[in-house]
């Protein structure tokens, strides 16, 4: 009797939840109303701007992108000549901005981690120097630092004729026109080396995943640190040599009053990259310091009791746990680094703001469209950085059971 009653109870289905309740319908109504109000406001603003432009006799739309741009651009990776379209000017501005932002983000992140670790050093001098660096840099406006490096450092370097040859081999030359280094010129057959590099990268990633799973399942460590460099370096290098080393180098040479050939970074670009790297490294250093301090000291003490070196303990135990607190702050710093590249307009570097929001706007007008395009670019880059780092942050967060 008891078994039968229990089986009946077990097979009783829970009552079905109503799909639409009064509270649910009310919530949906309010959300639709808010979306409708926002859409009406957007349409009103768009219609109002369009009418005002028509009344003033100003053209609107994006047809100006096909118009020829009559000005020159001092530095660009994308090929450009006066007379190309404003669409190409927009692409060049985006490319220059992304290059500067990527270099500043990479340099500031590496330097920031070093500064954050140095602030926690037991060496009194190192920790105090790191503290002074953070306090001075964080309390100085970024624009002032950009102007300082441009006017007080790079602008007073010697002329190209008296420039500094860092290695004495023409590999790296520095003067008041910028920094010059050789340009790689791929020859026939270099595609095979590129294919070998791609295969090596894929193999290294697969090896890393396999070694990690093997360590989790068996507890045995695979010498990834020894095998991975051999895969990433020796294999492509062997292919490169066997194919006849199909790569030449164009070394910058002094001709007249300037260096020609190779690749050059103008002083304005160097000043922007260096100043933004130093500026944001101070903030990243503080985020790293806070993240490390959030890890229990017992973690390091346990590693020390097991005979693990302090450097290995920091790299393998403390930092992986600290990243959970560091990454959210890193997102803001990376986004700010991208947006602060607009300060390059103050020293004449042709970034997106200088080329499109300043020069192009003065030439053709179309203020609404140009400002909107610049805003969309910065917004898109910031959202992309946020999505990628938030995805990584979710991967490293502890999962509650």
User: Angle at Cα 150 formed by Cα 80 and Cα 78, nearest 5°?
Assistant: 15
H-helix or E-strand spanning residue 336: helix 319-340
pLDDT digit string, tens, across residues 294-341: 888 777 778 777 777 777 777 778 888 888 888 888 989 999 999 999
Check pLDDT > 80 for residue 384: yes
Two tokens, residue 109: 């992140």
Check pLDDT > 50 for residue 122: yes
pLDDT digit string, tens, across residues 213-260: 888 888 788 887 788 888 888 889 998 998 888 888 888 888 877 888
Q: What is the mean pLDDT of residues 69-88?
A: 89
For residues 156 and 268, give the distance between their C-alpha atoms in angstroms, rounded to a whole number: 13
Q: Which residue has the higher pLDDT, 168 or 82?
A: 82
CB of 333 closer than 8 Å to CB of 108 = yes
Give the count of beta carbons closer than 10 Å to the beta carbon of residue 114. Answer: 15
Residue 17: DSSP 8-state: P
For residues 123 and 118, give the distance between their C-alpha atoms in angstroms, rounded to a whole number: 9
H-helix or E-strand spanning residue 264: strand 263-265
pLDDT given at position 274: 95
For residues 343 and 335, give the distance between their C-alpha atoms in angstroms, rounded to a whole number: 14
Burial code (b: 16+ CB inside 10 Å, e: under 16) for 300-337 equals: beebeeeeeeeeebbeebbbebbbebbbebbbbbbbeb
pLDDT given at position 342: 93
Report the mean per-residue pLDDT for the chain.
Answer: 85
Check pLDDT > 60 for residue 385: yes
For residues 150 and 274, give the distance between their C-alpha atoms in angstroms, rounded to a whole number: 10
Q: Which residues contact 192 (CB under 8 A, 6 or more apart)?
A: 239, 243
For residues 259 and 161, give the distance between their C-alpha atoms in angstroms, rounded to a whole number: 9
Among 101-115, 194-208, 299-313, which is the least confidently predicted range?
299-313
Between the alpha carbon of residue 92 and those of residues 77, 148, 318, 353, the distances in Å are 7, 26, 42, 11
Pairing relation of β-strands 178-181 and 173-175?
antiparallel
pLDDT digit string, tens, across residues 16-43: 555 567 777 888 888 898 889 998 888 8
pLDDT given at position 381: 93
Check pLDDT > 80 for residue 210: yes
Check pLDDT > 90 for residue 149: yes
Task: Report which of 112, 133, 97 is spatially closest to residue 349, judged by C-alpha positions.
Answer: 97
| pTM > 0.85: yes or no | no
H-helix or E-strand spanning residue 258: strand 258-260
Q: Which residues contact 156 (CB under 8 A, 6 or more apart)?
A: 176
For residues 332 and 338, give the distance between their C-alpha atoms in angstroms, rounded to a whole number: 10
pLDDT given at position 6: 47
Between the alpha carbon of residue 363 and those of residues 39, 316, 351, 357, 373, the distances in Å are 33, 55, 17, 10, 16
Check pLDDT > 70 for residue 288: yes
For residues 207 and 222, give the distance between their C-alpha atoms in angstroms, rounded to a whole number: 10
pLDDT given at position 1: 45
Q: Which residues contact 39 (CB under 8 A, 6 or more apart)?
A: none
């Amino acid at each position: 009797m008891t078994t039968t009653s229990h089986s009946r109870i077990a097979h009783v289905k829970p009552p079905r939840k109503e799909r639409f309740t009064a509270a649910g319908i009310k919530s949906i109504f309010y959300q639709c109303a808010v979306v409708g109000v926002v859409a009406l406001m957007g349409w009103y603003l768009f219609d109002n701007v369009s009418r005002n432009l028509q009344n003033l006799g100003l053209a609107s739309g994006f047809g100006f992108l096909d118009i020829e741009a009559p000005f020159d651009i001092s530095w660009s990776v994308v090929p450009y000549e006066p007379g190309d379209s404003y669409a190409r000017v927009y692409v060049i501005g985006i490319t220059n901005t992304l290059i500067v932002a990527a270099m500043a983000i990479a340099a500031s992140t590496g330097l920031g981690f070093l500064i954050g670790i140095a602030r926690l050093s037991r060496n009194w001098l190192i920790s105090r120097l790191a503290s002074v660096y953070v306090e001075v840099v964080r309390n100085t406006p970024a624009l002032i630092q950009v102007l300082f490096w441009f006017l007080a450092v790079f602008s007073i370097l010697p002329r190209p004729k008296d420039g500094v040859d860092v290695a004495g081999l023409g590999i790296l030359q520095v003067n008041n026109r910028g920094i010059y280094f050789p340009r790689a010129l791929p020859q026939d057959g270099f595609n095979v080396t590129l294919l070998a590099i791609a295969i090596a990268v894929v193999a290294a990633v697969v090896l890393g995943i396999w070694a990690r799973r093997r360590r989790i399942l068996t507890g045995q460590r695979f010498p990834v640190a020894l095998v991975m460099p051999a895969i990433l370096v020796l294999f492509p290098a062997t292919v490169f040599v066997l194919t006849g080393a199909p790569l030449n180098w164009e070394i910058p040479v002094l001709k007249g009053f300037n260096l020609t050939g190779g690749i050059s970074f103008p002083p304005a670009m160097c000043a922007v990259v260096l100043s933004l790297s130093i500026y944001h490294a101070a903030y990243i250093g503080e985020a790293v310091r806070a993240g490390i301090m959030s890890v229990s000291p017992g973690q390091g003490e346990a590693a020390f009791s097991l005979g693990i070196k302090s450097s290995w303990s920091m790299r393998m135990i403390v930092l992986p746990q600290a990243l959970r607190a560091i990454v959210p702050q890193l997102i803001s710093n990376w986004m700010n680094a991208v947006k602060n590249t607009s300060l390059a307009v103050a020293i004449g570097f042709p970034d997106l703001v200088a080329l499109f929001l300043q020069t192009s706007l003065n030439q053709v007008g179309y203020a609404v469209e140009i400002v909107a395009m610049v805003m969309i670019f910065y917004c898109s880059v910031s959202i992309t950085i946020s999505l990628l780092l938030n995805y990584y942050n979710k991967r490293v967060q502890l999962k509650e059971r």
